[in-house]
Amino acid sequence: MDMNMDVIDLVWRASWPVQLVMLLLLIASVASWRIIILKRSLILRTKTASDDFEGSFWSGGDLNTLYRSATRSSGASMGMSSIFEAGFREFNRLSQAAEASPEKMVDECRRAMRVAQMREVDRLEQGLAVLATIGSTSPYVGLFGTVWGIMGAFMSIGNMQSVTLATVAGPIAEALIATAMGLFAAIPAVIAYNRFADKVVRLEIRYDGFTEEFSSILQRHARTDSGSA
């Protein structure tokens, strides 16, 4: 308890530039933890939804039934389900056009799925750039506050006739708090960014594989429909 009160007292006694640096780092830390919590929840929900949909898709059910089930589900579809909806919606639309060849149908469906995939990946990547920025800049911002505080401490010491360790300990400790806060803001942001970026890449690879596999299925359906026409 005494230590906490001492740290708070040191923060209050720091010069206003150092206090401003500490405030900026505190805001950055709060912002990064907010992004971490929200992004973790989003990626987990997206992965779970994709796992559930993939299980239903490869169970061998009817695609029309799966499409109707996906579109009737509460809330907007996400992950692999969104890519499937975009591709199958385009397939149904082109199936009504008599002049559409099987190759054109598959190309248009693949294009629609790529667009949906880009939207899904972009949604997952939102906020990661902020984490990367906080993780890379916070230590330098804290170091700036430390350098500024130590400069002020030495300038004050220069005006003293007698200097002891107790005299310099307080001002230097005030300055070093800025470095500690910079590291406190940066380390979780860097760890979270690396972890989330890896998860997004893994999901994107799964989306790529599903898009190609579903395109092959649609190609077979298109050729069957064209041969029976």
C-alpha distance from residue 78 to each of 132, 134, 220 (Å) = 25, 28, 26
Q: Is the pLDDT of residue 103 over 90?
A: no
DSSP H/E element including 61: none
- Average pLDDT, integer, range 155-184: 73
Q: Phi and psi (nearest 5°) for 75? A: 80, 170
Nearest-angstrom CA–CA distance, 185 and 212: 41
pTM of this structure: 0.82
Q: Is the pLDDT of residue 39 over 70?
A: yes
With bands split at pLDDT 50, 70 and 90, how would you rate the model's confidence at 95?
confident
C-alpha distance from residue 14 to each of 24, 26, 181 (Å) = 15, 15, 14
Give the tokens for residue 67.
């499409």
What is the average pLDDT score of the chain?
A: 84
Which segment of 22-31, 42-51, 145-154 scores lowest on mean pLDDT? 145-154
SS3 1: coil
Nearest-angstrom CA–CA distance, 186 and 181: 9
Please choose, from the candidates 4, 204, 213, the residue with its C-alpha nearest in 3D space to the C-alpha of residue 124: 204
Nearest-angstrom CA–CA distance, 59 and 77: 19
Which pLDDT score is estimated for 207? 94
- Average pLDDT, integer, range 120-133: 94
